[in-house]
Chain A
Amino acid sequence: MSEQTTANRERRPSRRHFLRAGAAVAGGAALAAAPAAADTGNLPPNIPEWMKAPGAPMGDQPYGTPSIYEKGVVKNISKTLPQYLSASGRTPLQEVDGIITPNGLFYERHHGGVPTIDPAQHRLMLHGLVDHPLIFTMDDIRRFPSQSRIHFIECSGNPVYSKPYGKTASDLVGLVSCAEWTGVMLKDVLDEAGLQKEAKWIVAEGADAAAMTRSIPIEKCLDDAMLVYSQNGERLRPQQGYPLRLLLPGFEGNMNIKWLRRLKAVAEPVYSREETSKYTDLMPDGTAREFTFYMEAKSIILRPSGGQKLNGSGFHEISGIAWSGHGKIKRVEVSVDDGKSWQVAKLQEPVLTRALTRFRLPWQWDGTPAVIQSRAIDETEYVQPTLAELLAVRGVNHYYHNNAIWPWRIDSNGEVSNALG
């Protein structure tokens, strides 16, 4: 963990106790594990106790789990949701490094709970405007030529436009995660059935209790859409659609249908509840945008970010993530003076299309109050807008597709908070 949380540990015992009580917030893991301040027996010049006896034997954990000192690094799930069957849980973005989200921390959004599906009894049906309606077993799907690709998935409402805005980066934009996905190209499977020329959309349906349904334009299906069965090397987690999910790189998360059981080729969209009543964007004049598929370019600083604390002035690395549904991140600019000037951040390779991209900027903090923020520019030259610019066009009831620049305020005592909160 960062020096920020080390500072918390040493200076704020009351906060430590709060976290021990089980709250999962920034810095929870390191803090929960903190030894008593007087316990210096494992520090130089003494020999640490874990060197004086053998550790746990092989086989202690057939499936490895994080250190007991990382117990606080868990999904960020509100404790006050009206119900938990159609709900979401966020990635603790500020606790995760690099661009790959660990499978256990990948954000979740489901509409009728998480089904337990026996893969031997799971089938994918492909029908509608095709020459050969087909049924595939999971073994069948895995026989198609496979591909592995790194892509983010982001919920369309991440965050919404109205207050209260969250305190931490996870509260704000924790409904984005990124993984290496393995599966087959949807085009190969569609070709197997023989798409008829009238087929302009594919209706995809999940095998969950919501029978989640979305219409996907055929161009996307024949481009980079995939049917994936693995995530970061292992089979999909149930929360991510085990045993099979649709992956539509750059499209809003709910369209990446999980527990995929059916694909129907049709001439026009089905106008399901999820693409009319939900996942449409209300404008100030009462009209609503429909089929707003792409997630536009976005970035967020994760270190330092809301809920953290800088341990004094001096050197601090600013680090964050950027992504765009329209392709690669071309540039990320960072301002440390409340938007007056912007510096180009360094992008960590690899910079991949429709994937999280890590950016960093070395920074000397002079100890005075500051507002820091980042803005992403993607390969289409699109520039991430401010919240004020978005609200001026879309209004506060737009709900989805908020990709605003999000500034953090740093007080003279080092505490970081949401500058728009």
Chain B
Amino acid sequence: MRLARPHVALLAALIAGLAVAAQADERFHIGRAATPAEIKGWDIDIGHDGSNLPPGNGSVERGRVVFSEQCASCHGADGQGGVGDRLAGGQGTLASAKPARTVGSYWPYAPTLFDYIRRAMPQNAPQSLSDEDVYAVSAYILHLNGLAPADAVLDAKTLAAIKMPNRDRFVSDPRPDVP
């Protein structure tokens, strides 16, 4: 029996080794490596904390011009909505009979505004605005909501620093909640 222990240990080591080998073999070796340049070109995600925001900046003033040219036809001159969503106002309405879910009243994170405008707006030509103009339009929309002063110039740091009024009003899924 005393000899059994080393055998067991050896066997265990062998099995572990086989398991590692089997695990290594689980890769199919399909696909090729993605290069850092390829990833940089495609990874347009901006974290809610502002991570991955690009260099550059944009002013409320410049944003007013870009907005009138690129956005106002759908969202209204002052972001009051039209064919496109209403973007401004509505703070304090979420618990009312007619809630207005706008950037200022509803969106929890300011960097998401940059992310969404860059990836999807304007609807007829997404990913066509320069990063500077995306910063500028973001700044203007935040200004329309009273969340940036008229002379604001936003960049990665200052955009991420804006605390959205509704940030702490989201709760996790409690379902089943009925009956």
Contacts and interface: CB of A to CB of B under 8 A. Distances in A.
Determine which residue in A126, A137, A209 has the highest number of CB atoms from chain B within 10 A of its CB, and name it.
A209
B98 to A, nearest CB: 8
Contacts of B97: 397
Contact of A134 (B31, B94, B172): B31
B123 interface: yes
Contact of B120 (A82, A112, A127, A280): A112
Determine which residue in A111, A140, A191, A397 has the highest number of CB atoms from chain B within 10 A of its CB, and name it.
A397
A127 B31 contact: no
B119 A211 contact: yes
Interface string B111-151: 01001100110010011000000000000000000000000
B178 A282 contact: no
Chain A interface size, under 10 / 10 to 19 / 20 to 34 / 35 or more: 35 or more
A405 B33 CA distance: 50
Contacts, number: 152
A270 interface: yes
Contacts of B69: none
Contacts of A271: 47-48, 108-109, 112
A237 interface: no
A276 B109 contact: yes
A329 B109 CA distance: 39
Given A125-B38, A272-B115, A209 B126 contact: yes
A140 B31 contact: yes
A133 B39 CA distance: 9
Contact of B112 (A203, A272, A382, A394): A272
A286 to B, nearest CB: 3
Nearest to A130: B34
A135 interface: yes
B30 A192 contact: yes
A31 to B, nearest CB: 35
Interface stretch (A53-61, A224-232, A288-296, A359-367): A288-296
In the A-B complex, the 5 residue pairs with the smallest Cβ-Cβ separation, listed nearest first, are A286-B95, A286-B94, A211-B119, A273-B116, A271-B48
